[in-house]
Amino acid sequence: MRILITGVSGALARMVAERLAQRGHQVIGVDRRPWPDAPKGIEIHRSDVRKRPVEDLFRTRRPDALVHMATVTHLSASREERYRINMNGTRAVWDSCHAYGVGHAIFVGRHTIYGAAADTPLYRTEAEPPLASSTFPDLADLVAADLFCGAALWRWPELTTTVLRMVYTLGPSRRGTLAAFLAGPRVPSILGFDPLFHFMHELDAVEAICAAIEKRPRGVFNVAGPPPVPLSLLTSRTGRKALPLPEPLFSLMLGRFGLPKLAEGAAQHVKYPIVLDGREFKRATGFEEAYDEVAVMESFRWA
């Protein structure tokens, strides 16, 4: 298959590209950022997903499948930039998929769109509403992008759309949202709260995306690996020291004293869990994780 990957220079996307190439697929990658030492078999184009050169790729190379990983979070882009990339960019590539007869498009999204709050069920199924627009306003654009792709399911029925809502990834690359939170020697938490954190090994995440390409499940799917663990255990198992802060102090101290900088609203994610029910995806693709929760934490710790 000829597969186009947007946002290919990201840590997880590179692994996906390499794995797909190993499996004998022809991989075309697009990103604004460079990937200097990209493996020989992978064709790299430097462009913004909203720009002409990417549409040209659709027109001239006619990919069979798209893996859309060109989304950004508040950690790397300003609000305006985020809306342009996450919403206009997603729209542009889905339009191209429709216009140029791509058979299958995968949106690689995040589980945080469900939002953390006191009154939500512990396990979220795909039917749960994404609450992040209210609990964590900096994720609103990602919520919108996710729902936009979901709407493509009925708007363009001939295009098989797969929306993946993936739990945090963690592993030896030490990249990603959760890795950034755990980067320092001390991990902040909120006194009296110890929510479950749901994550999977980055290689399992790569496997899950590959499984989605090969099995082409149509619809919206939660992607989860091993069971979630409490933040306190995640902190100690990754060799960090927990720093429980009273809630009023929490936002004041972030970004200072070697603590990670978090967006407004992130405190909710340190108080309440976001845990996914990933059974539907496993049924649809046969995906099974290879790393249990302890193995994931150890792989991050000793990398």
Which spans of this chain sit near another protein (rule: CB under 8 A)? 118-123, 125, 190-194, 196, 226-230, 233, 237, 247, 272-273, 277, 292-294
Q: From the CB of 268, what's the least distance to another protein, in Å?
A: 11
Closest CB to another protein among residues 25, 271: 271
Closest CB to another protein among residues 35, 123: 123
Q: From the CB of 141, what's the least distance to another protein, in Å?
A: 27
Q: From the CB of 34, what's the least distance to another protein, in Å?
A: 40
Rg for the chain (alpha carbons), in Å? 19
**Helix, strand, coil distribution of the chain in percent, nearest 5:** 40, 20, 40
Give the pair of three-digit tokens for residue 131.
């609450």
Distance between terminal CA atoms of the chain? 33
Closest CB to another protein among residues 29, 188: 188
Closest CB to another protein among residues 63, 226: 226
- Spatial distance between the Cα atoms of 193 and 196, rounded to a whole number of angstroms: 10
Closest CB to another protein among residues 35, 193: 193
- 232: nearest Cα among 182, 266, 276: 182
- Spatial distance between the Cα atoms of 237 and 76, rounded to a whole number of angstroms: 27
Q: From the CB of 270, what's the least distance to another protein, in Å?
A: 12
- 222: nearest Cα among 203, 194, 201, 198: 198
DSSP assignment string, 110-124: EGGGG---TTS-SEE
Q: From the CB of 216, what's the least distance to another protein, in Å?
A: 29
Q: Is 49 helix (H, G, I), strand (E, B) or coil?
A: coil
Distance of CA 81 to the CA centre of its chain: 18
Q: From the CB of 166, what's the least distance to another protein, in Å?
A: 18
Closest CB to another protein among residues 18, 277: 277
